[in-house]
Structure 1
Amino acid sequence: MELSIRDKAEAIQNSIETETLAQLGLLNPQSYKQHNPNVATGVEAILALHEQMPMDKVYTNVVRKFQDGDIGFVHVDYFLFEPTVAFDIHRFEDGLSVEHWDNLQQNPQKLNKSGRSMTDGKTKAKDHHKTEDNKNLAQRFVQEVLIDGKVDLASSYFRDDFLIQHNPNIGDGVQEYLDFMWDENIQKYSKIHKVLGEGNFVLVLSEGFFKKRHTAFYDLFRLEEDKIIEHWDVVETIPEPEYRKNDNGKF
């Protein structure tokens, strides 16, 4: 039976640990566009990168997997060159991945002040009939509250102060999250690039600045009854153009 797009995205990332990417045959060998600025475009560049990894330590654990149209996206706990948490996104054509985006962050391997890791929590999508509504809600939240700074609108996106938080730097609660997000000395959102979703999980890809460095923000939200109730994120610095290994753009 043909694998689903979400399962193919999972299989591609799992093949790092099993060293079976070439045999898997899920990347288009003629057309594979890479958006990780630290990796050259094309399949051969990926295979070469894997050969540099300390394979005695490497592991992959796909914690969440979703699909949105021809895109599969996964939330992964890794050891690549160091403990890492990532979101990986693959766009498929004719059953093969032809385009890849990701965001990676060092995993501190400690719990935040509310006792949560960067990857624990709910994993399965539900309410598939509300996918588009949930995508629209998460996009509006990021645009209106995190980018435009419309403080008065924030309360409409949450149930009182309830928010399950997986960011390693802060704990549960809406106000603590917003205080962190609105501190322009820490981070500032400037533009949304993509919004992907399945059911009650929505991934928003944005850019901005973290501690004044050009940064990509990948925020995963879980929603229930038209409110945001859980949040995971991965934050990665975007290298300056002269240090990038491809010209495809981070987003």
Structure 2
Amino acid sequence: METPISNKEIVLDFWKRAIGQGDLEVAGQCIAEDYIQHSASGKPGKAALLEALAMFKQMPKPENPPKPFLRIIADGDYVALHMLITFGGHTMIVLDMVRLQNARFAEHWDAIQPMSEATAHAAIDGPTQINDLVQTESNKQRITDFAQTVLKEGQWEQAADFVSSGIVTHDPEAKSGLPGWKEMLRRCTFEKTYRIIGEGNFVMTQSRVLQNETPYACYDLYRLDKSKIVEHWRVKQPIPATLLHNNGMF
């Protein structure tokens, strides 16, 4: 009896064959007919995505591209990929998230943050191994409570209940340690958290935040140990005034 392929394996195979190898036949099979696009740079619908993949196939590729995936989280129908991509001489941190339905790509979100190569590497360094799978739901609840109590309601005196004093932050806007991390977060207004997905010791939130009066699509990735946040990564992208579709970035 064949073992059913996991959603994580479906997404990785799509990236390898449809994007890496330019196999548009595979892409057509993997994308749902009613595919929903949320990316700020994408046009709506399956046909537009296939058109973009066809254009991407014609572009020159680096001879020895690095493996782009740093962290991959699968939670039910959702798969999120934390990536570092160098393309056209530009280095970008990407958080790419898809929702699968019947083993096909049904919906897609992303945030792309351009950075210098040195800054980008610092922003994605750190552990990648997923552990403590039995703690998935309790870790998701911890981040749910943290996002509501501390980030949304601003009860910063409660932060130490959720965060290790030795937290490692990879956000280039944050100074080291818990005080510097809190200072960075307090510069943002967390307007709404749309999704929280997790696998083991990694939990990611998808939120709309306001910083210096600019709205962002913001993805915060947390690593937890013994129910406390010990490490944090972030990818955020300004939300443009107009999009190429009517689906919004969330």
**Could you say whether these structures have the same fold, taking a TM-score greater than 0.5 normalized by the shorter chain as the test?**
yes
How far off its partner does 1:2 sit? 4.2
Q: What SS does structure 2 have at the residue aligned with 1:250?
A: coil
CA distance in 1, matches of 2:227, 2:74: 20
Structure 2: which 5+ runs fail to align? Answer: none
**Secondary structure of the residue that 2:154 maps to in structure 1?**
coil
- The answer on whether the counterparts of 1:163 and 1:228 sit within 8 Å (CA) in structure 2 is yes
**Any stretches of 5+ residues in structure 1 without a counterpart?**
none
Q: Please say which of residues 50-59 and 34-43 is displaced more in the overlay.
A: 50-59
Of the structure 1 ranges 216-225 and 43-52, higher mean CA displacement relative to structure 2 is found in 43-52
Instruction: Give, in whole Å, the separation in 1 of the partners of 2:21 and 2:134.
Output: 36
Q: Is the 8 A contact 1:203 1:220 kept in 2?
A: yes
Answer with 125-134 or 71-80: which moved more: 71-80
Equivalent-residue separation in structure 2 for 1:121 and 1:232 (angstroms): 9
Residues 1:44 and 2:52 are matched in the alignment = no
Q: 1:193 to 1:148 in 2, by over 3 A?
A: same
2, 5, 25: which one aligns with 1:3: 5
Change (3 A) 1:171 1:7: farther
CA apart distance, 1:130: 1.2
Letter of the 1:189 partner, please give it: F
- Asked if the contact 1:203–1:221 (Cα under 8 Å) also holds between the matched residues in 2, the reply is yes
Q: CA deviation at 1:231?
A: 0.4
2:147: which partner in 1? 142
Please show how residues 103-118 of structure 1 align to structure 2 within 5 Å: 103-111=111-119, 117-118=122-123
Select between 85-94 and 20-29 the one with higher mean Cα deviation. Answer: 20-29
Identity over aligned residues, as a percent?
26
Q: CA 1:223–1:21 in 2, change beyond 3 Å: closer, same or farther?
A: farther
Q: Where has structure 1 moved over 6 Å in runs of 4 or more? A: none
Give the CA deviation at 1:56.
2.7
CA distance in 2, matches of 1:171, 1:3: 42
Asked if the contact 1:75/1:88 (under 8 Å) is kept, the reply is yes
> Quick one: distance in 2 between partners of 1:117 and 1:22?
37
Structure 1 length as normaliser, TM-score? Answer: 0.88
- Name the one with the larger helix percent: 2
Give the match for residue 234 of structure 2: 233
TM-score, structure 2 normalization: 0.88
Amino acid at match of 1:174: L
Q: 2:105 aligns with which of 83, 86, 97?
A: 97
CA distance in 1, matches of 2:178, 2:25: 44
For 1:234 and 1:108, locate their aligned partners in 2 and report how far apart those are by CA, in whole Å: 14
In the comparison of the two structures, how many residue pairs are matched? 242
